[in-house]
Structure 1
Amino acid sequence: MKNKIYLPNGTEAQEACYSEFPIEEYNTNPFIQALPPIADKKTIIKKLMTIPTFKEVERELDSSYRMHIVKRLYKLFQPLPQHVRIWNMVFSLVFQGYLARNPFDKEYIRYVNATGKQIINRTYDLSNKTDFRTTANCGLLIGYSGMGKTTTMNKILNNIPSVIVHDTYRGQHYNQTQLVHITLQTPHNSSLKALSLQFFMKVDEILGTNNFKKYVSRNLSVDAMLPLMGIVSQNIGLGLMVIDEVQHLQNRGVLQMMNYFVTMMNSFGVPVIFIGTPASYPIFQNELRIARRVTGSGEIIWNNMGNDNEFRLFLESVWKYQWNRKFTPLSEELIQIFYEETQGISDLIIKLFVNVQQMAIYSGKEEITIEIVKRTVKESFKMMKPMLDALRSGNPYKIAKYEDLRRLEETHNKKTERVEQPVKIIKKEIIKGNQMVNLLTVSNNPKQKIQRDYTDDDIRQVYIKANKLGVSPYQLLLEKGYIDEMSFGQGDDFL
């Protein structure tokens, strides 16, 4: 068992205990060997699972107590396949990022010493090429608000020691405090200086150091701060930087901020994970250097759950925690209404289940019914109604009003159809796995008409339907909700 150590400022750290890995290149680096073992899928699920305290006898308690007890459900964490993917991405980035930063590698020691002298003498130039070849990459976690991105990341990082204290490595004295990971919040104004100051303050808070006082002054520019952040990262063996709420970069400072993170990876070897809502995705699509690194290590798109087995697994894992006097079995009708009213957003599923139980207790019904679910939604989900209505409609125009709800695969994976000349489409069918798959083969034949199958949300479908019905395309587009009718009363002013 690994011993705990407390730093002078009270931070809990872990005494380094070195493991041997089946991967040869991991066994010569104390930064890597001090990390936890690489876990299999079963172990990952076990480590992430959090189950609230539950006793059936509590159902007999007075309603005033049960109104409080039901909120234990907010502690529940049911691992799903997406959580396992995120775990593997995080661990891979940390392990791989340390490969080029071996504190016992002579070339790396030489690079760190030379870089440190240049930064202190203010002669360091970020644009200069060096012999240091980084192994750091970045990960991207983009998903709906309410799917648990930050919660999941925090639970995973809780399974990696934040601070590791080294003393002796393979018989050699090795005095080193290793900060494995740090999480920063993107400033609302996209200020690089605010992010830099946050970095120094967070490191000092965790390790009890005085880097902020030592390096930061009122007139220090961001260009001067970045190398100082780099040298601090090298000195503390920083393994991973997590940047949360990156959608705040949407308005300004995007290019500068991306240059900032690329420098942290290239010059100082620190891997970065970006967490944000779908509103932040265009940032990474437009930044080739980041996109290239994300492609090499991990891009996880986390949309809401569909009405499928994953959603049912999640709902079933929650359903057994009922504190109403009468236990209500999970029926198909209840499954459908819970999906309809939450659209597969995990945070809303939990909140609806808590509020439904409280409503059942408060009303005296003491059981979950369709009527109570509808009443709860009407009274407790008022603010969410426009967003959920947009999701239910499947209308891209309505969903586009809420950037945090945009399904990324609909915009990211679609390709523009381009036809150089009329083609003949021949339909063939093959069996792939357990599913029938349609293949379309084409042959040049200018006499054949082009036939296309448009998706339900394709605006061209509306135009085709309008022609068939003999009505105005504009009127049909208006009815389908793709455009707004801009009408003004006589007393309205148009500015």
Structure 2
Amino acid sequence: MSKYPTGHTVGAVYNGNSGNPYLAAMPDMLSPEQFLQAVASYPPIPHDLAKMSSEERRGLLPSLSSIYVPMPFQYAIYDTLYRAIATTYRTADVVDSTRAINAYYCGRDTNYATQADSGSILGVPGCGKTATIRRCLSTMPQVIDHVEYQGQPCYCKQVLWLHVECPSDCSVKTLGFSVMAALDRAIGSHYLESTQGLRSASASAIAVQTKILFTNHHVGLLVVDEIQNAVLTARKNRQEKPLLRYLVELTNETMTSIYFVGTPLAEELFTAQEHLKRRTRGIRLAPFRPDGVYLDFVRKIWPYQYTAQAAPLTTSIGNKLYDCSGGIPAYVIKIFAEAQAQALLIGCSSINEKVIQRAVDLLAIKVPRTYAAGTHISDFEIGMDPPAPPLEQEEVPRQYANKRGRKAAQRDDGDLLMAYNKSIDLEAHLKENGYLEADYHG
């Protein structure tokens, strides 16, 4: 049974007698079974579907976007984020936090014996990074209210996590304002409104204000999504360094764990500087392999067919869907939904390979031929640590459900290529098959 009821804000419940209220109030870690049950989402299928018109059936198709099939890689991400939050509260207790706030106001440096956690979760667009991050965080309360701890007053709002997007302009001020807005939404404060007078302030002033708020509200984890924006901006005006320096300082001085989420494009930025390599290690997601895990995913979405008749999931259709989607979950669902829409529009009773291709052509989906190195979402196993990604980025070929290319021609034993491939005595082979003529001169 969960320590806290489902909700955004909960009253603190303490475990143990560690002397650290923020660590003692942490929610219990969910088991794999509890987590997968908590994040699964299967919208109901209307009982009167058979009586619905084509227009009504097409109106049901957007519900497919709310399907969320639980998989082991999602629990690996949940485990990573949970441990990152716990690390934050193991590095700073109440006294350290108070001293840190005073140090910020006095302009002195803070000094901790240990560092908070930091890392990154990168993956091919459509693998479900952001959706998984949001569902992982939703399994924990965002705010814990403290009133009393061990018989002493302890009035504060502990913010377990904040989720923001990396600003497209790579601006420290923009990110600072985004963080304040996220904090306001979490605890109902008005920090962003109160900083209207700081609009003309320097980026460093906004950064200091953000650090104070993080320490004051004991923020456990900051997730910065769409971090590849920093790379795109860096290519234009080389402004990524101030933003990353600010985030590194935020981790060092507030002891808040930080995780970056984005596409493999961000790897270019992380590997460019040695100190970022260490701070940005983490899970790298690649699409499904054409295997049993992929087929299990398709089987779970296959009942959501709103056409007049349900098409059976044949090997041919499964392979066609994989080839067109590249094994990317978001593309699988998008193609599945659009194929049904096209079938309903043209009066086809059910989806088939031809309708699937029509949907792909209409959506102009072109999956890449290669993907950045990473761990395929088929390869995660609950109860085991995810395989470590390669140290250096490399390209891996796309894998197909159907083998490509022409079939090898059947050759007889006397063929020269057969002799060459078998590495046999060529002269003897030619004589044996009558290909060699001897010219005798008496």
| TM range, smaller chain | 0.7 to 0.9
Matched, 1:269 2:250: no
Match for 1:366 among 349, 358, 372? 349
Encode CA deviations 1:256-303: one digit per residue, 9 max, x unaligned: 2222111111111000010111111121112333322344xxx11111
Task: Please name the residue that 2:424 is paired with.
Answer: none
Task: Please name the residue that 2:363 is paired with.
Answer: 381
Aligned-partner SS, 1:241: strand
- Whether contact under 8 Å (1:136, 1:266) holds in the other structure is yes
Matched, 1:164 2:164: no
Cα distance in 2 for partners of 1:4, 1:54 equals 26
Task: Please name the residue that 1:18 is paired with.
Answer: 14
Cα distance in 2 for partners of 1:167, 1:234 equals 18
Aligned-partner SS, 1:134: coil
Task: Please name the residue that 1:289 is paired with.
Answer: 275
Aligned-partner SS, 2:283: strand
What residue ranges of structure 2 are gaps of 5+ in the alignment? Answer: 377-388, 399-442
- Whether contact under 8 Å (1:53, 1:72) holds in the other structure is no
What's the offset of the Cα at 1:313? 1.5
Q: Rate the CA distance shift 1:67–1:220 in 2: closer, same or farther, 3 A.
A: same
Encode CA deviations 1:73-122: one digit per residue, 9 max, x unaligned: 1110012221111111110100111112222xx4x25xx33x4334334x
Segments ≥4 residues shifted beyond 4 Å: 1-5, 213-216, 407-410
Task: Please name the residue that 1:241 is paired with.
Answer: 222
- Whether contact under 8 Å (1:137, 1:271) holds in the other structure is yes
Q: Rate the CA distance shift 1:456–1:44 in 2: closer, same or farther, 3 A.
A: closer
Aligned-partner SS, 1:354: helix
Cα distance in 1 for partners of 2:60, 2:42 equals 14
Match for 2:181 among 201, 214, 237? 201
- Whether contact under 8 Å (2:101, 2:215) holds in the other structure is no
Task: Please name the residue that 1:117 is paired with.
Answer: 102
Match for 2:84 among 84, 93, 105? 93
- Whether contact under 8 Å (2:373, 2:390) holds in the other structure is no
- Whether contact under 8 Å (2:172, 2:207) holds in the other structure is no
Letter in 2 for 1:19: N
Cα distance in 1 for partners of 2:134, 2:6 equals 20
Task: Please name the residue that 2:161 is paired with.
Answer: 181
Alignment of 1:320-399 (within 5 A): 320-378=303-361, 380-382=362-364, 384-385=365-366, 388=367, 390-391=368-369, 394=370
Cα distance in 1 for partners of 2:339, 2:19 equals 55
Cα distance in 2 for partners of 1:33, 1:409 equals 34
What's the offset of the Cα at 1:372? 1.6
Cα distance in 2 for partners of 1:339, 1:259 equals 41
Cα distance in 1 for partners of 2:78, 2:13 equals 22
Q: Rate the CA distance shift 1:310–1:232 in 2: closer, same or farther, 3 A.
A: same
What's the offset of the Cα at 1:144? 1.1
Letter in 2 for 1:181: W
Matched, 1:81 2:72: yes
Letter in 2 for 1:179: V
Match for 1:147 among 127, 130, 152? 127
Letter in 1 for 2:36: I
Cα distance in 2 for partners of 1:456, 1:257 equals 34
Encode CA deviations 1:24-64: one digit per residue, 9 max, x unaligned: xx944221232321112111111111111124541332222
Aligned-partner SS, 1:146: coil
Encode CA deviations 1:229-261: one digit per residue, 9 max, x unaligned: 111111111111010111111123222222211
Encode CA deviations 1:118-154: one digit per residue, 9 max, x unaligned: 4334x33xxx4x4422341112111111111111111
Cα distance in 2 for partners of 1:162, 1:203 equals 10
Q: Rate the CA distance shift 1:237–1:414 in 2: closer, same or farther, 3 A.
A: closer
Letter in 2 for 1:270: T
What's the offset of the Cα at 1:408? 5.2
- Whether contact under 8 Å (1:32, 1:95) holds in the other structure is yes
Alignment of 1:40-59 (within 5 A): 40-55=31-46, 57-59=48-50
- Whether contact under 8 Å (1:134, 1:266) holds in the other structure is no
- Paired residues, number: 376
Letter in 2 for 1:239: G
What's the offset of the Cα at 1:331? 0.5
Cα distance in 2 for partners of 1:322, 1:199 equals 41
Cα distance in 2 for partners of 1:179, 1:135 equals 19
Aligned-partner SS, 2:74: helix
Q: Rate the CA distance shift 1:415–1:91 in 2: closer, same or farther, 3 A.
A: closer
- Whether contact under 8 Å (1:140, 1:294) holds in the other structure is yes
Aligned-partner SS, 2:127: coil
Cα distance in 2 for partners of 1:219, 1:369 equals 59
Q: Rate the CA distance shift 1:292–1:415 in 2: closer, same or farther, 3 A.
A: closer
What's the offset of the Cα at 1:204? 2.7
Cα distance in 2 for partners of 1:363, 1:456 equals 36
Cα distance in 2 for partners of 1:221, 1:142 equals 31
- Whether contact under 8 Å (2:101, 2:216) holds in the other structure is no
What's the offset of the Cα at 1:371? 1.8
Q: Rate the CA distance shift 1:137–1:64 in 2: closer, same or farther, 3 A.
A: same
Letter in 2 for 1:117: N
Over aligned residues, Cα RMSD in angstroms? 2.6
What's the offset of the Cα at 1:415? 7.2
Cα distance in 2 for partners of 1:134, 1:227 equals 21
Match for 1:223 among 181, 199, 204? 204
Letter in 2 for 1:254: E
Encode CA deviations 1:173-232: one digit per residue, 9 max, x unaligned: 211111111112111111112111222233234323233455562442222322221111
